[in-house]
Amino acid sequence: MADNKAPTESHDISGDNTLSSENENDSGNEVSIDSLAQKVQESLSLGKRHKFWETQPVGQFKDLGNASIPEGPIEQPTLLSEVKQEPYNLPTPYEWITCDMDSEEMCAEVYSLLANNYVEDDENMFRFNYSKEFLQWALRPPGFYRSWHIGVRVKSSKKLVAFITGIPAKIRVRNDVVVMAEVNFLCVHKKLRSKRLAPVLIKEVTRRIHLENIWQAAYTAGVVLPTPITTCQYWHRSLNPKKLIDVGFSRLGARMTMSRTMKLYKLPDQTATPGFRKMEPHDVPAVTRLLRNYLKQFVVAPDFDELDVEHWLLPRENVVNSYLVASPDNQEITDFCSFYTLPSSILGSLSYSSLKAAYSFYNVSTKTSLLQLMNDVLIVAKKEEFDVFNALDVMQNEIFLKELKFGPGDGKLHYYLYNYRLKHVLRSSELGLVLL
C-alpha cells in the first residue's frame, strides 16, 4: 500500500501554467492500455523504482491486457494468527509510536511534520498545508482505528520524523462492496529520505490493517507504480488570477493583459439557483439517498451510509463545504455539491505565504444542470476568498471543466487498489471515488 501522493512529487499543486482560455487543450479522458504501457516503459528506465511493488499483491504491468486473469482479490486472506504480530524492525535510532489524533499536542506534531516535509510541486514553489482541523477530520471517520495512525520518532529526542495512516472505508467495485483501507499521508522527514523508511512504513501499516481482518486498500500517487486502475488529471479554475500570477501558480496568457484576465475570470455576485443553500444536519438522510443513487453508475465508488455522509459532508469551517438545492415548491433535495479546503504554503514569495485552494469533492445533479450548480459553487468559493478551485476529471466533472474556464494542470494523479485486480484500466469518468 502507498500514500495518497508520492512524498517527494506533486500531483500538480503548482497548477496549470496557462489558466488563460486561449491555451486550453483536451486532457484526454480515455486512458488506453497502450499509452499506460508507454508511460510504464519510460518509468522503468529509472531502474529499481518498482522492486518493492513487484513483491506486493497488486496488478503487475506484465499482466496488462491479459483477459484470462480474473477480477477480484489477488491473494486470499490468511488466518489472523498467521499475520506478523510484532512491528517491523526500524533502524536502531528510531521507534514506532501510535499517533493519538484526539490529542492537540500530537496533532500539532503531525501538522508540523507534514507542513515542513510533505508534498511539494516539482519546482518547490508550493507545499501542501493540511490544517490540524482537516487532519482530525480526515483521520477519524466512523469506525477508525487509532492503531492505523503510525509515527516514527527519534528515540533520543522524541522528534516525530515519519508518518503514515490508514482509515477504513466501504468501496464498491462493480457489484461487490469491499471493506478496504484508504492509505494516505506517507511522509518522511527530508533529512531521512535516504534511510529507506518508506517501504517499512508501508509494510507496517499493511500489517496493522491485516490485523483487523481487512485485506484490500485504495491509494493514490503522483507517480506511476504497478498498476494504476485509472489516471486522472487536475484542472484549475482561477478565482484570484492576479495573486495566482504574482506567486507563479499561473502565468499571463498570450496576448492577455492583467485586466483582461481578471475580467475573463470574473464571477457573478450571487448564486443563480433557487433553493441553493448550505447543507444542514437534518439533510443527511436525503443527501445520502441522492449520493448513493448517483454513485451507482461508476465502476469504483464509495458505499456511503448516513454516518459516512454526516462525517464527510456536513460543513466544517475551513475543512469541508457542502451545498444543496431544495425545491422551493416542496423542499425536496434535488442537487448537491461539495468541496474541501486544502491550502498550500507559498515557498518563494515575499508578498504571500498561503494559497487558499478548494478541491471539488462529490457533486450530484438531477434537476439543476451540473454547469449551473458548479458555477454557483465557484461563486460561493470566491466569496469565501479562495484563490483557486481544483477538480479532477472524475465522475461527470468533464461536463463543466472547459465551460467554466478550468484549465488543465500539468500533473496526473494515479489511483491504485491493493490486493484487488481489475481486468481493464478505467476511464477517469468511470471512477466515483475522491481520496483526500
| Strand ranges (E), 57-139 | 94-98, 126-128
Count of other CB atoms within 10 angstroms of residue 202? 22
Q: Which among 389, 436, 391 has a CA at the least distance from the CA of 136?
A: 436
Catalytic residue among 90, 291, 373, 436: 436
Q: Which residues contact 78 (CB under 8 A, 6 or more apart)?
A: 210
Q: Does 252 qualify as catalytic in the annotation?
A: no
Ramachandran region, residue 419 (left: φ > 0; alpha: ψ -120 to 50; beta: rest): left
Q: What is the SS3 assignment for 264?
A: helix
CA nearest neighbour of 118 among 128, 131, 107, 132: 128
The two beta strands, 388-392 and 357-360, are parallel
Tell me the C-alpha distance between 367 and 369, whole Å: 6
301's CB contacts (< 8 A; 6+ apart) are 171, 172, 295, 431, 432, 433
Active site positions, annotated = 436
